[in-house]
Structures are given as structure tokens and as C-alpha cells.
Amino acid sequence: MSVISPADIDRSSAEANRLIRYSLQLAMLSKLLGNQLISQAEYTEIRQKLMNKYGILSEITIPSVYQNDI
């Protein structure tokens, strides 16, 4: 059986917080795009900057509910 140290918990918690912050910012960015307050080009540029800032190498994307075909 493996023992989890407090340092492991702190690392795991910090990683979770980082991903939550990234997810919240990405959600707000998607909302701006959906409300047509930014262009697709601006969205792509800002998303890439967020990915770099939070160390996200790639993401699995789900089609936005804001697409015009709804």
C-alpha cells in the first residue's frame, strides 16, 4: 500500500487549482465569443496565451453551444 505525503497532497491541490483557474478563464472567453464580443481570431489568440500561461499542452475540445447551427 502506498502512503500519500502532505507534499503530494499540496502538489495535487496546486495542480487542481491551476486547472480550475484555466477552466474558468476559458469558459469566460467562450462566453465572450458566443456573445460575439470578440472575433474567432481573438478567441484563438487569447486561448493560446492562456494555454501557455497555464502550461496546457493540448486540449480536447467539445463543440461550443454558441455555434450558429443551433
pLDDT at 70 over 50: no
Residue 15: in which H helix or E strand, if any? helix 6-34
For residues 37 and 66, the answer to whether their CB atoms sit within 8 Å is no
Q: What is the pLDDT of residue 63?
A: 60
pLDDT digits (tens, 9 = 90+) for 14-69: 888 888 999 999 999 999 999 999 999 999 999 999 999 998 888 776 565 555 54
